[in-house]
Amino acid sequence: MFESLRETIRDLLGGRVAPADRRAVIMDMKQALTLAKLGVEELRESVEITRRRVATEREQLETATRRRTLAEGIKDAETVALATKFESQLAERLAVLARKLEAEEAECGLAERAYDEMVTLLKLAHVGAGSGLTPASRPLTDVDLGLPDDAPLRSELDGLARAQLRADREAGADAALEALKKKMGRG
């Protein structure tokens, strides 16, 4: 994800960037890291959405299992067969979502570690490592690097997340309504 960025930072730290070009390269790197941070946030949001889907699927599977058990209790073979089939489908979908969640969490972890490494390396480059100059007496913060905790951006991201959550809820409600219409023979 960050290989090009990592290579540029290695060039900075290794003294392979002309002193006159260092400032411009570091500024470009800051911008790239800002975009990378947004990418990491998107991955985190995707993981959270998948977690919620897994929880929902798990609840639906528990409900289907309960219904199948009730049908078995009243010895309704047709309902048991349908419930068993539905339960199997839900279990399969849950297993796929669980694997997806595991993969997304791993990807997010990799991206977070790579991002943190790049920030650390950029801080070293910013304080003069690889330039032949004496590094500054204190390490630079994210704010020094131009990577502040941007409240308007965070607010916008939160608004987008809320809008997506609302859209997901509306889609779920629409799907439930359609299912109910079909069940009642009106669809």
Measured in whole angstroms, how far is the alpha carbon of residue 46 from the centre of its chain?
4
Output b/e per residue, 146-160; b: 16+ Cβ within 10 A. ebeeeeeeeeeeeee
**pLDDT at position 89:** 95
Torsion sign across C-alpha atoms 130, 131, 133, 139: negative
**pLDDT at position 58:** 96
What predicted TM-score, i.e. pTM, was given to this entire model? 0.59
Q: How confident is the model at residue 19 (pLDDT cuts 50, 70, 90)?
A: confident
Q: Could you tell me if 60 and 29 are in contact, meaning their C-beta atoms sit under 8 angstroms apart?
A: no
d(CA 21, CA 132): 14
Selection from 11-20, 80-89, 124-133, 157-166 with the highest mean pLDDT? 80-89
The residues spanned by each domain of the chain are: 3-149
User: Could you tell me where the DSSP H helices lie in 14-145?
Assistant: 19-73, 77-126
Lowest-confidence segment of 10-24, 40-54, 74-88, 104-118 by average pLDDT: 10-24
Measured in whole angstroms, how far is the alpha carbon of residue 25 from the centre of its chain?
29
Lowest-confidence segment of 12-16, 35-39, 170-174, 180-184 by average pLDDT: 12-16
Selection from 89-98, 138-147, 151-160, 164-173 with the highest mean pLDDT? 89-98
**pLDDT at position 137:** 45
| Interval 116-153: pLDDT, tens | 888 887 777 776 655 554 444 445 555 555 555 666 76
Average pLDDT of span 6-18: 75
**pLDDT at position 135:** 45
For the chain, what is the largest distance between any 2 Cα atoms, rounded to a whole number of angstroms?
83
Judged against a pLDDT cut of 90, whether residue 97 lies above it is answered with yes
